[in-house]
Amino acid sequence: MLYVITGPPAAGKSSWIEGHAKPEDIVIDLDRITVALTGPGAPHWNHGEVQQRVAQRARYAAIDEAIKHLDKVDVYLIHTMPKAKALAQYKRLGARIVPVDPGREVVMNRIKAMRSPAMERVATRWYNARRRQAATGMPQTSRRW
């Protein structure tokens, strides 16, 4: 099974996976990949542009390979804000989309405490997209019976 974990930065997506994945499962988490590819003492967040670019390429390769093995292992993929094309691909793969959101206030406080200020913009974008999604979820009113 493919689990796609979505949510704003600092929402607890990695923690959710830690509570659900088994040791033999595949976990594709850009933060974990970046830490694995950087030197000793590198931060767990707030990576440099080059480090993120290399890790992003490794993430794409990991996804391509992992989906070939969905019949053997569960795959947990963190994708903060998947676009429609990615969601369509995940749907074709029979993925379960799992949104993790402890609430805007909690997220913003966590970002202030642990992440770079740039993550506030990402979180704001995530919440704005969710609000637009909810507003357009029902394009017409129901009939009057």
120-144 pLDDT per residue, tens: 999 999 999 988 776 655 444 444 4
What is the SS3 assignment for 5?
strand
Task: Characterize the bridge pairing of strands 75-78 and 26-28.
Answer: parallel
**What are 10-20's pLDDT values in tens digits?**
999 999 999 99
Round to whole Å and give the CA distance between 14 and 12.
6
For residue 97, list its beta bridge partners: 4
**What are 79-136's pLDDT values in tens digits?**
999 999 999 999 999 999 999 999 999 999 999 998 888 899 999 999 999 887 766 5
- pTM, two decimal places: 0.85
Give the pLDDT score at 75: 98
Q: Radius of gyration (Cα) for the chain, nearest Å?
A: 17
Q: What average pLDDT does range 71-77 have in this prediction?
A: 98
Residue type, 67: I
Give the pLDDT score at 139: 47
